[in-house]
Amino acid sequence: MSTTTTASPTEAKLWGGGKSPFSVEYGKVMMWYFLMSDAFTFGAFLISYGTVRFSTNGWPDPNVVFKSFPFAPEGINAPLVFVSVMTFILIVSSVTMVLAVHAGHNMDKKGVVRNMIWTIIGGIAFLSCQAWEWNHLFHEGAWWGRNPFINADGTASSTNFTNFFFTITGFHGFHVFSGVVINIIMLIMTLTNQFEKRGHYNMIEKAGLTGTL
* Whole-number average pLDDT of the chain: 88
Sequence-distant (6+) residues with CB within 8 A of 96 are 115, 116, 118, 119, 122
Question: CA of 31: how far to CAs of 25, 26, 35, 171, in Å?
Answer: 10, 9, 6, 19
Reported as a single tens digit per residue, the pLDDT across 13-68 is 666 666 666 667 777 888 888 889 988 999 999 999 999 999 998 999 999 999 99
Q: Please check whether residue 19 lies inside any domain of the structure.
A: no
Reported as a single tens digit per residue, the pLDDT across 198-213 is 999 999 998 888 755 4
Q: Please check whether residue 188 lies inside any domain of the structure.
A: yes
pLDDT at position 191, please? 96
pLDDT at position 46, please? 95
Please name which of 211, 201, 207 lies closest in space to residue 109, comparing C-alpha atoms: 201
In angstroms, the CA 136 to CA 64 distance is 13
Alpha helices in the chain (DSSP H): 26-54, 62-65, 81-105, 109-139, 160-191, 194-198, 202-211
Cα(first)–Cα(last) distance of the chain, in Å? 66
Task: Please state the rounded mean pLDDT for residues 138-154.
Answer: 95
Q: Domain total for the chain?
A: 1
- Which residues span the domain enclosing 83? 37-211
Q: Which of 53-57, 70-74, 114-118, 168-172 has the lowest mean pLDDT?
A: 70-74
Q: Please check whether residue 8 lies inside any domain of the structure.
A: no
In angstroms, the CA 211 to CA 213 distance is 5
Q: Please check whether residue 151 lies inside any domain of the structure.
A: yes
Sequence-distant (6+) residues with CB within 8 A of 178 are 210
Contact 68, 78 (CB under 8 A): yes
Q: Please check whether residue 53 lies inside any domain of the structure.
A: yes
- CATH number reported for the structural domain that contains residue 108 in this entry: 1.20.120.80
Q: Please check whether residue 17 lies inside any domain of the structure.
A: no
Q: Please check whether residue 7 lies inside any domain of the structure.
A: no
pTM value is 0.85
Q: Which residue has the higher pLDDT, 176 or 30?
A: 176
